[in-house]
Amino acid sequence: MTEGKIDLQKRNSAIGEELIRVEHLKKHFGKLEVLKDVNQVIRRGQKVVLLGPSGSGKTTFLRCLNLLEQPTGGKIWFEGNEITAPDCDIDKVRARMCMVFQQFNLFPHLSIRKNITLAPVKLKLKSQAEADADAERLLGRVGLLEKIDAYPRQLSGGQQQRIAIVRALAMNPDVMLFDEPTSALDPEMVGEVLSVMVELAREGMTMVVVTHEIGFAREVADHVVFMDDGYIVEEGTPDEVLRDPKQARTQDFLRKVLK
Amino acid sequence: MDKWFQQMQAEFRLCFIDKDRWRLLLTGLGNTMVISLFAVLIGILIAVVVSLVRSRWDTTHERMRPGPGKAIFAFFDRLCRLYITVIRGTPTVIQLMIMYYVIFTSTKNGVLVAIVSFGINSGAYVAEIIRGGIMSIEKGQMEAGRSLGLNYHQTMWYIIAPQVLKAILPALANEFIVLLKETSISGYVAVMDLTYAGNRIRGATYSAFMPLIAVAIIYLVVVVGLTKLVGRLERRLRQSDGR
Ligand SMILES: Nc1ncnc2c1ncn2[C@@H]1O[C@H](COP(=O)(O)OP(=O)(O)OP(=O)(O)O)[C@@H](O)[C@H]1O
Ligand SMILES: [Mg+2]
């Protein structure tokens, strides 16, 4: 959080062309309208942090981006292709925007190595040898190389979540989606996961992060989005939204989280 | 006591040694094993298809676009439900007799008919076991697989299926044991299974104790052996995920 100013400029200059476009996104579950009209453009290299009270639709929005939830209205484009179109090959798209879940969702029957290499190998993006080498390199970076032959159950939550990040990274995605990646962790493990994410951000990964970690948002985000009741209520730079929010609902929310 | 022992010896000779009657039991055991084994294979085959249709319908029909694809899918789901309802709702022995006396009237190969009949019967139960297994796997597993770009079938095969297999193995083994014992009604369609063999000896010798106890013991030994085997397999599977 110290080198904020200089870093911010560097990050802004790295932001490139449009990667994801969301227009008039709507989603309802039966009668419950969760997303009412959400619009958003995410550019390459951008770090977007989504904030909002519980039940405001953050998870649903994130899951609509890779169509884990089928939107009931509106359109989404990824790299210029409309992924909400009926003929879109969603598996191809998902391989380019990987997701990190609140509950890690590692595959319990597979070793860490297999957890990381399964998808790239089965999708023929890499040979097993290449995938193994990548897995080792990435695990080394998050400090878990010695766990490569362990099984998920043998690891702590923080370790599992770092592995889940590596598993997503191994796909060389264009964008990574994080849904409250630290919410299921014991407090002492939050830091190790956040620092991996901060490093990812430094390297220029495009990230969309749902989190309640305001500190992370301040340090990493270049765009903060505040959602409430199925709409984006307020958005802007961290300074604009976090330090000087215009909307009463944002102020209210921040007061509660920062307390 | 001595006299009792001698009497037992005589009965043993009468029931198993005379006229090589032990061969009947051997043939019977062979048929029982063949019927159970192939029936279980057919059952698993049917069950995999049925459970995949049922569970995929259950998890995805709400999200499917209406159209001919959905209609066909809905039809197959109904068909699978009907199959399970009918099989579970009627006695196995009636199914077997219908198979033999109504459907396969042209064949006198009772073993084959029994295999098909027990296979179809077992399929319904195993299908529900597998479906339960699939449902017991956390939703997040499918989502994690899909979010990495694996398609539905790849995720099913590499991620869901191994976990399901491990979860249902005890139930599956139990089903096999139940099936093995259920084949003891094969005599209804003139198949010489283990039970029928014992009964034949009883009829021929007018001695009930020896042949029936022998048959019971043979079933018991086979079942206990199978249980041990499955236990070992389960332990191996458990080791592989570091528990
Ligand atoms: N599959 C579903 N079926 C029905 N309702 C759902 C489903 N998924 C989410 N909802 C509902 O949609 C609303 C928004 O949920 P969502 O998970 O998007 O909120 P959120 O902003 O992520 O909240 P939180 O901070 O608690 O994670 C909630 O009321 C939730 O109960
Ligand atoms: Mg959520």
Q: Which of B65, B150, B242 sits opposite A119 (nearest CB)?
A: B150
Which of these ranges, A1-10, B163-172, B190-199, has the smallest mean pLDDT? A1-10
What is the number of other CB atoms lying within 10 angstroms of the CB of residue B239?
A: 9
Summarised one tens digit per residue, pLDDT across range A143-188 is 999 999 999 999 999 999 999 999 999 999 999 999 999 999 999 9
What is the number of other CB atoms lying within 10 angstroms of the CB of residue B150?
A: 23
Residue A6 has pLDDT above 50, yes or no: no
Residue type, B46: I
Q: Label residues B29-67 b or e (16+ Cβ within 10 Å = b).
A: bebbebbbebbbebbbebbeebbbbbbbbeeeeeeeeee
Q: Which of A90, A93, A104, A105 to mutate to test the interface with B (most CBs of B within 10 A)?
A: A105
**SS3 category, A198:** helix
- Is there a contact between A105 and B144 if contact means CB atoms under 8 Å apart? yes
| Number of domains into which chain B is organized | 1
Q: Which of A68, A119, A154 sits opposite B143 (nearest CB)?
A: A68
Q: What percentage of chain A carries pLDDT values higher than 70?
A: 95
Residue type, B148: L
pLDDT for B242 equals 54
pLDDT for B234 equals 81
User: Domain range holding B115?
Assistant: 2-241
Asked if B46 and B123 count as a contact pair (C-beta separation under 8 A), the reply is yes
Asked if B73 and B64 count as a contact pair (C-beta separation under 8 A), the reply is yes
Residue B185 has pLDDT above 90, yes or no: yes
Residue A7 has pLDDT above 70, yes or no: no
Please check whether residue A154 touches B, CB under 8 A.
yes
Residue B201 has pLDDT above 90, yes or no: no
pLDDT for A45 equals 93
Q: Is A9 in the pocket of ligand 1 (CB under 6 A)?
A: no
Q: What size, in residues, is chain A?
A: 259
d(CA A128, CA A117): 7
| CATH number, position B140 | 1.10.3720.10
- Is there a contact between A66 and B147 if contact means CB atoms under 8 Å apart? yes
Q: Label residues B133-142 b or e (16+ Cβ within 10 Å = b).
A: bbeebeeebb
Residue nearest atom 8 in ligand 1 by C-alpha distance: A60
Q: Which of A78, A97, A90, A46 has its CA nearest to residue A207?
A: A46
d(CA A28, CA B194): 60
Asked if B205 and B15 count as a contact pair (C-beta separation under 8 A), the reply is yes
Q: Give, as one character, the DSSP assignment of residue B65.
A: P
ipTM: 0.90
**In this structure, are strands A47-51 and A81-82 parallel, antiparallel, or unpaired?**
unpaired
Q: Give, as one character, the DSSP assignment of residue A45.
A: T
d(CA A66, CA A62): 7
Maximum C-alpha span of chain A: 55
Asked if A116 and A166 count as a contact pair (C-beta separation under 8 A), the reply is yes
**In this structure, are strands A81-82 and A97-100 parallel, antiparallel, or unpaired?**
unpaired
Please check whether residue B160 touches A, CB under 8 A.
no
Type and span of the H or E element at B41: helix B22-60
d(CA A93, CA A98): 9
Mutate to test the pocket of ligand 1, among A25, A50, A56 (most ligand atoms within 8 A of CB): A56
Summarised one tens digit per residue, pLDDT across range A17-62 is 999 999 999 999 989 999 999 999 999 999 999 999 999 999 999 9
Q: Which of A217, A183, A179 has its CA nearest to residue A198?
A: A217
Cα three-residue angle B110-B113-B114, rounded to 5 degrees? 85
Mutate to test the pocket of ligand 1, among A27, A36, A60, A182 (most ligand atoms within 8 A of CB): A60
